[in-house]
Structure 1
């Protein structure tokens, strides 16, 4: 910050914000303003091979300006974020780190611990990993993330992560005590309600998507055929996911559309060519 020209707005793309915003405030200048940034986009992959030209498109991009940063500087960052195709959201750094601990950092710790547990069980006879199906892979995908990135996250967001881990351990203990009881149904019901209320996308859209479910045979070319037919009708698929696929038995494809009209048109097009499709 000391080296940049007068009037500059400085930002970052890190996953934790409080420590960085506080540090920038200490070493900063009155004529240079720091606005913390966290684009909610990326994956567990890294390097040039994982580059994505649409990485920021429709992604939620959190900005955490310090209290002394003028609105003009914040607005410059908001405009930049929108130019990237992302959706800006403003919040204070402490709130960001607490929320990030709950929905991003603790899930990483959970996935890592679960894979370590199953890995040690697997050392005995190799059976657990042979039986690990789609659910286990989906739940633990982020366990492939490199520690180099998570070292910094854990060291700069230690207290919120520990607090959320303690809360999660409390939830696990409650579930453990109910495993053989009918009362466990309450936990499942509540979890279903919350999970189904999450916006149906993978990049932090601020608006919920209109979903279409398609049942299709499990064979090469199905997704390409569906996408091509919709593209020819100028219907844009904003999100797509393959659900519950069993080899040779078919499965379900979930598609998300930005407009209800697009979802309804997709159903008409695909039903018209023989696919089994419905609005969700």
Structure 2
């Protein structure tokens, strides 16, 4: 029986204090998961993070050993290729009992590297918080970035149960919804639901672009559906370079599988009703509140007039009844008339209570 104590977050190191690393530092402090955060990053970033209150202490990368000597948990928040490079260096300087994790978007190569170099007296737990922002850098850091976000952990079978349990508790304490997978399963699923859509968006935009060169009406007619499907095509290559390099095999498999599906669509183009029906059924089962695998929250649609203070009235009505909103989104609005909000609640009874409170305040509401 492993007598090792659980994950100790009394002093946490964040290596790479950008959007994710900075948000993690702020969240851990905001929600009381740690009392001390040490950052390792560039001098300029460290200065910004200290001024923001994200860090209690900061070091540059060449002082990594000094930064980690007294920390109990380490999060590697750099690009995937840099995480793989850093792991041996981190493994050589951490104190016994340290728990090391990462936030990389692919997991198999990172976990394999960790298994090669981590000392027996410490533990590595791979992680992938499925949260982000259109902005980047420490200036965009947000302690609430992980609220209701899926946070995938990829622990190896050698991680003691009590360490994994306490580590999971700490991640959940910042508002994330934790889900455990093997590293291989993570990369296989991510290839299908995240990496494949990116490749398809790129291909679709390139295809329509070539057609537009022949007939310029293509881009003139590119309305809502096309824009919605291709929004992610604007993602910078720098974000995707490491993902493609470290998950190429699974992405190729997903592309080949999708090509087979397209062949079926091509063959059935005049008899597509079964495809529409199947796609509608599958899509309706996707959890709306996270990009993943958990039980969905309960959505309520709320109509309101386009007037100042309406959102404040809605939230105040719910606050009076001690009802917590797990997620909120403005779906539709017509200036001068009004719009529809989507509010998510933890379960049906809470959603029903919210509907009653909103109706009482004069806001028509219904379950989605």
TM-score in terms of structure 1 length: 0.85
Residues 163 and 211 of structure 1: CA distance in aligned 2, closer, same or farther (over 3 Å): same
Q: Which residue number corresponds to residue 256 of structure 2? A: 166
Q: Given the alignment of the two structures, is residue 175 of structure 1 paired with residue 265 of structure 2, yes or no?
A: yes
Q: 2: distance between equivalents of 1:201 and 1:66?
A: 28
Cα deviation for residue 27 of structure 1 reads 2.2
Q: Report 1:142-157 matches (<5 A).
A: 142-157=232-247
Distance (Å, rounded) in 1 between the aligned partners of 2:148 and 2:293: 6
Question: Across the two proteins, how many residue pairs are aligned to each other?
Answer: 278
User: Does 1:73 pair with 2:151?
Assistant: no
Structure 1: 5+ residue stretches without partners: none
Distance 1:2 1:50, change over 3 A: same
**Judging changes above 3 Å, is the alpha-carbon distance between structure 1 residues 191 and 63 closer, same or farther for their aligned structure 2 residues?**
same
- Shift, 1:49, TM fit: 4.6
Q: Summarize the Cα distance change of 1:68–1:171 in structure 2 as closer, same or farther, 3 Å threshold.
A: same
Return the offset for 1:270: 3.2
CA distance in 1, matches of 2:105, 2:348: 34
Aligned partners of 1:169, 1:241: CA distance in 2, in Å? 34
* 1:34 corresponds to 2:124: yes
**In the TM superposition, what is the alpha-carbon distance from 1:249 to its structure 2 partner?**
7.4
Conserved in 1, the CA contact under 8 Å of 2:101 and 2:125?
yes
Contact 1:59 1:205 in 2 (8 A): no
2:80 maps to which residue? none
| Superposition deviation, residue 242 in structure 1 | 3.6
In structure 1, which of residues 29, 37, 60 is the aligned counterpart of residue 150 of structure 2? 60
**Distance change >3 Å, CA 76–CA 257, structure 1 → 2:** closer
Q: Which runs of 5+ in 2 are unaligned?
A: 1-90
1:208 to 288, 296, 301: 296
- Residue 238 in structure 1 maps to residue 333 in structure 2: no
Going from structure 1 to structure 2, the CA distance change for 1:251 and 1:146 (only over 3 Å counts) comes to: same
- Stretch deviating more after TM superposition (75-84 or 87-96): 75-84
Structure having greater relative contact order (Cα 8 Å, sep ≥ 6): 1
State whether residues 317 and 361 of structure 2, in contact with CA within 8 Å, keep that contact through their aligned partners in structure 1. Answer: no
Structure 1 residues 94-142: Cα deviation after superposition (integer angstroms, max 9, x where no partner): 1111111111111111222223333444455654444333333332232
- 1:232 Cα deviation from its structure 2 partner: 4.2
Q: Quote the RMSD (CA, aligned, Å).
A: 2.7
Runs of 4+ in 1 over 6 A off after TM superposition: 246-249
Stretch deviating more after TM superposition (234-243 or 145-154) = 234-243
CA contact (8 A) 2:102 2:127 kept: yes
Q: Say which of 280, 285, 296 aligns to 1:192.
A: 280
Is contact 2:148–2:289 with CA below 8 Å preserved after alignment? no
Partners of 2:324 and 2:293 in 1: CA distance: 15
Q: Secondary structure at the match of 1:235?
A: coil
The aligned residue for residue 117 of structure 1 is: 207
How far did 1:46 drift?
2.1
Normalized against structure 2, the TM-score is what?
0.67
Q: Which moved more, 1:139-148 or 1:1-10?
A: 139-148
Moved more, 112-121 or 186-195: 112-121
Name the SS of the counterpart of 1:113 in structure 2: helix
